Homo-oligomer: A and B are copies of this chain.
């Protein structure tokens, strides 16, 4: 299976001292690969998997795990080995809400079915891989698990399975189970990608699946504001204002993501199921008012059923599910509050 991220040579004993260049030289940074053993939920017994990770921050500081959606990767922020901005650059860095002057962040590239001998990959598998990686790196305690979207699901699985080593769960826009409407929308996305695989038009199919996903991430209010104009005639064809944006986003995604990885991680969301009563770690939940993919009602239910104290903060936004990526200013203070005390 082709991975979306350029494969690199496995470095099972990568040195813990490759300093980040564009960032403060006070940070340590490992961006490497470790082989760890997990027992996949849908597999046939224990299995060795290569986990690609980034571990970055103040030397000796406590470690937080930070994980995003299925299309996010380990590069939460720029580092010496990856100078482009990370997917959560606004929140992770020196002086940011997740302050690399005070903590270290551990993040992985999600495992997919290619890593698991084609078996479905579960949110528990990702959580177990993170726990095994922490063992391999000698990290005894994870001060907090900050997860958004699929990352929040994996955070819940981690909290349920590895409570003894976890201080705090911070879950943004993710719940104990997917909503059936969102599952239906993802099932259609997977159907489109599979159609492309079966008929030799993978790129166009993956682009359409991404376009569909975007219509579930964003709110009607945002699209109405941006694309409320009339159809116009261009090159003999009628074009609607929203079509250019959708197709541009589709193309961008195809350039950076792999179709089979998309199938595996999309399915993983829909297989996710964690009993909130099994989560005995204090939690801060953050929801987005216009999120149609993860309705606030599901976060309210989660909050009420968790077995340890949990807060729920709601961010007003027009960006729907993507609020965790777009509402930098509103999310930052909530993260700071949730992480207050971590790294002290």
Contacts and interface: CB of A to CB of B under 8 A. Distances in A.
Interface stretch (A66-74, A125-133, A189-197, A304-312): A189-197
Interface residues of A, number: 47
A195 B188 contact: no
Given A42-B238, A270-B231, A215 B180 contact: no
Interface stretch (A17-25, A27-35, A222-230, A321-329): A222-230
A75 B316 CA distance: 46
A130 to B, nearest CB: 23
Interface in A159-187: 179-181, 183-185, 187
Closest 8 CB pairs of A and B: A181-B220, A180-B223, A180-B227, A199-B199, A181-B223, A184-B242, A199-B201, A184-B215
Contact of A181 (B184, B224, B230, B241): B224
B180 A195 contact: no
B187 A195 contact: no
Given A188-B212, A188-B246, 18 more contacts: A42-B238, A180-B220, A180-B226, A180-B227, A181-B220, A183-B227, A184-B211, A184-B215, A184-B227, A187-B211, A195-B201, A195-B204, A195-B205, A199-B199, A199-B200, A230-B273, A231-B271, A238-B267
Nearest to A233: B42
A223 B196 CA distance: 27
Interface of A: 42, 120, 179-181, 183-185, 187-188, 191-192, 195-196, 198-201, 204-205, 208, 211-212, 214-215, 218-220, 223-224, 226-228, 230-231, 238, 240-243, 246, 267, 270-271, 273, 292, 295
Nearest to A182: B220
Contact of A187 (B191, B196, B242): B242
A208 B201 CA distance: 15
How many copies of this chain are found per oligomer?
A: 2
Contact of A195 (B195, B215, B219): B195
Contacts of A226: 180
Nearest to A178: B240
A226 to B, nearest CB: 8
A208 B192 CA distance: 7
Nearest to A224: B180
A238 B195 contact: no
Contact of A208 (B188, B218, B267): B188
Nearest to A243: B187
11 contacts: A180-B223, A180-B242, A183-B227, A184-B211, A184-B214, A187-B211, A195-B195, A220-B295, A230-B273, A231-B271, A238-B267
Contacts of A179: 220, 223-224
B240 A187 contact: yes
A228 to B, nearest CB: 6
Nearest to A320: B181
Contact of A223 (B184, B199, B227): B184
A26 B97 CA distance: 77
Contacts of A180: 220, 223-224, 226-228, 241-242
Nearest to A230: B273
Contacts of A227: 180, 183-184
A181 B238 CA distance: 18
